[in-house]
C-alpha cells in the first residue's frame, strides 16, 4: 500500500506529461490518440520492434548511469557523449590494430579498451575538478565538443572506409564482434553485459562501504567531510566510474552493433541518458527501468515520424515534460511534509 502511495505522484506526473503533450500534438493538427498508440505499441507488436528496443536500452541505461553515479556524490556529469565517443574510438583502435587475435582475446580487449578510454576521458574533467576546482558541468560539455572533432579525425584518417558516404572507419576484426544472442534480427550479448553492470553498480552504491561513502558525500558533503570521508576523492571516483560506463556503451556500440566507428555513432543516447537520470531522480536502481520506458518511446517515435509524418522531436517534448512534472511532484511532496 505504501509502495502504491509512494509511486502515485510519479504515475500522475507521467500521465500529466502525456496529456499536456497530447494537447500540443492536437494543436499542431495531428491525432494524439493515434500518435500515442504508435508510440507505445511499436516495440511490442513485432519481434523486430522489440529487439530494436533492447538495442537502444543498452546504451541508454549505461549513459544514464554515467550521469546518475556521479550525481550520487553530488556532481553533474554532462559529458557522457564525449566519454561514449572516447570509448568507441578506443574500442575501434584496438579492434583494427589487433584484428588477428582470436575472439577469446580480442573481444575482452576491445571492451576493456573502450572502458579505459571512456574512463580516462572522464578523468580529465574529474582531475580538473580535483586539482583546480573547475566546474564539472563546463569541462564535461567542452570535452564533448572536442570528442566530436576527434571522431571526425579518426573516421577521415588512414582508416577511412572510402566506400561509405559519411565519415566511417573500416570494420574492426571479425574476431572482435560481440557474440550474438539472436541472429535475426541481430541482438548481441551486450544486453546481458549491461544488466550485469547495472546490478554491479546498484550493489556498489547500496551495499559497500565505499559506495556508502559516495552516497553520503552527495547527501551532505559537509557532514561527510566531518566524518572523515575524503569528499574530493569521492567526486573523482564517481566521475570516473560514470565515465567508464559511458565508455563501455561506446565500445559495445562498436563491437556489438556497428562493428566500426561512424560519425554520429553516439546518436542522441547521452541527451536521453540525462533525461533518464533526471526522471530516475538520480536513483541508480531506477535507471534500467526508466531507460527501457524511454527506449520504447524512442522506437515508437521513429515509427510515428515514418507512418504519420509527426516530427520525432515531439517525443523530446513529452520527455522534457515528464522531467518537469516529476520535479513538480517532488515539490508537492516536500510541501506536504
Partner 1 sequence: MTGIETFLVEFLKLTFLSMVPFVLAGQGTMLGGRTGVFNVAQEGIMLTGASVGFLVGYTSGSVFVGSIAAMLVGGLFGLILAYFTTTLKMDQFVVGLALFFVGTGLSTLLPKLVLGITLTPPLIPTLKNIPVPLLSEIPVLGPILFNQNILVYISVLLSILLWYLLFKTNLGLRLRSVGENPKAADSLGISVNRYRYLTTIIGGMLIGLAGAYLPMVYTGTFTELMTKGRGWIVIALTFFGGWSPLIILLGSIFFAGIEVLSYRMQVGGSVIPFQFLNMLPYIGTIIIMIFTFGKSRVPAFLGQNYDRERRTL
Q: Considering the complex, what minimum distance in angstroms separates the CB of residue 197 from partner 1?
A: 24
Q: Which of 318, 186, 278, 246 is nearest to 59 (CA)?
A: 246
Closer CB to partner 1, 187 or 316, in the complex: 316
Grid-cell match 578510454, residue found: 117
Q: Minimal distance in Å, beta carbon 85 to partner 1?
A: 13
The residues of the shown chain that bind partner 1, judged by CB under 8 A, are 28, 76, 78, 128, 132-135, 137-139, 141-146, 149-150, 152-153, 156, 271, 274-275, 278, 311, 313-314, 316-317, 319-320, 323-324, 327-328, 331
CB of 143 to partner 1, least distance (A): 8
Record the cell numbers describing residue 210, joined without a space.
Answer: 565505499
For partner 1, the closer of residues 178 and 246 by Cβ is: 246
**8 A C-beta contact, residue 144 and residue 252:** no
If the CB atoms of residues 83 and 139 are measured against partner 1, the closer one turns out to be: 139
CA 139 to CA 75: how far, in whole Å?
12
To partner 1, the closest distance from the beta carbon of 297 in angstroms equals 13
Cell numbers at 78, concatenated = 554532462
Angstrom distance (rounded) from CA 120 to CA 126: 9
Residue 335, CA atoms < 13 Å, CB-side half-sphere: 6
**C-beta closer to partner 1: residue 2 or 313:** 313
* Least Cβ distance, residue 53 to partner 1 (angstroms): 21
Q: Which residues contact 261 (CB under 8 A, 6 or more apart)?
A: 88, 89, 92, 151, 154, 155, 159, 168, 169, 254
Of 42 and 139, which has the nearer Cβ to partner 1?
139
Amino acid at each position: 500500500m505504501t509502495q502504491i502511495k509512494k509511486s502515485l505522484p510519479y504515475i500522475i506526473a507521467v500521465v500529466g506529461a502525456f496529456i499536456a503533450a497530447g494537447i500540443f500534438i492536437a494543436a499542431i493538427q495531428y491525432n494524439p490518440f493515434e500518435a500515442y498508440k504508435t508510440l507505445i505499441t511499436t516495440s511490442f507488436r513485432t519481434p523486430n520492434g522489440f529487439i530494436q528496443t533492447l538495442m537502444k536500452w543498452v546504451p541508454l541505461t549505461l549513459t544514464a548511469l554515467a550521469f546518475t553515479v556521479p550525481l550520487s556524490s553530488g556532481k553533474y556529469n554532462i559529458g557522457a557523449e564525449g566519454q561514449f565517443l572516447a570509448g568507441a574510438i578506443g574500442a575501434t583502435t584496438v579492434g583494427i590494430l589487433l584484428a588477428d587475435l582470436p575472439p577469446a582475446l580480442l573481444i575482452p580487449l576491445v571492451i576493456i579498451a573502450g572502458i579505459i578510454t571512456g574512463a580516462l576521458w572522464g578523468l580529465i574533467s574529474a582531475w580538473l575538478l580535483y586539482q583546480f576546482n573547475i566546474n564539472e558541468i563546463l569541462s564535461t560539455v567542452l570535452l564533448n565538443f572536442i570528442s566530436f572533432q576527434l571522431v571526425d579525425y579518426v573516421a577521415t584518417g588512414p582508416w577511412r572506409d572510402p566506400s561509405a558516404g559519411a565519415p566511417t572507419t573500416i570494420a574492426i576484426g571479425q574476431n572482435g564482434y560481440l557474440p550474438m544472442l539472436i541472429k535475426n534480427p541481430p541482438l548481441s550479448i551486450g544486453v546481458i553485459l549491461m544488466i550485469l553492470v547495472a546490478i554491479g553498480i546498484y550493489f556498489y552504491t547500496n551495499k559497500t562501504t565505499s559506495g556508502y561513502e559516495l552516497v553520503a558525500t552527495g547527501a551532505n558533503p559537509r557532514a561527510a567531510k566531518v566524518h572523515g570521508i575524503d569528499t574530493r576523492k569521492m567526486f573523482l571516483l564517481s566521475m570516473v566510474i560514470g565515465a567508464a560506463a559511458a565508455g563501455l556503451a561506446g565500445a559495445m556500440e562498436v563491437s556489438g552493433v556497428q562493428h566500426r566507428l561512424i560519425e554520429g555513432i553516439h546518436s542522441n543516447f547521452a541527451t536521453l541518458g540525462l533525461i533518464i537520470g533526471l526522471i530516475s531522480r538520480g536513483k541508480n536502481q531506477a535507471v534500467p527501468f526508466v531507460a527501457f520506458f524511454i527506449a520504447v518511446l524512442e522506437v515508437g517515435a521513429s515509427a510515428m515520424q515514418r507512418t504519420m509524418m509527426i516530427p520525432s522531436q515531439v517525443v523530446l517534448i513529452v520527455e522534457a515534460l515528464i522531467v518537469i512534472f516529476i520535479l513538480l511532484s517532488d515539490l508537492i511532496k516536500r510541501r506536504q511534509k
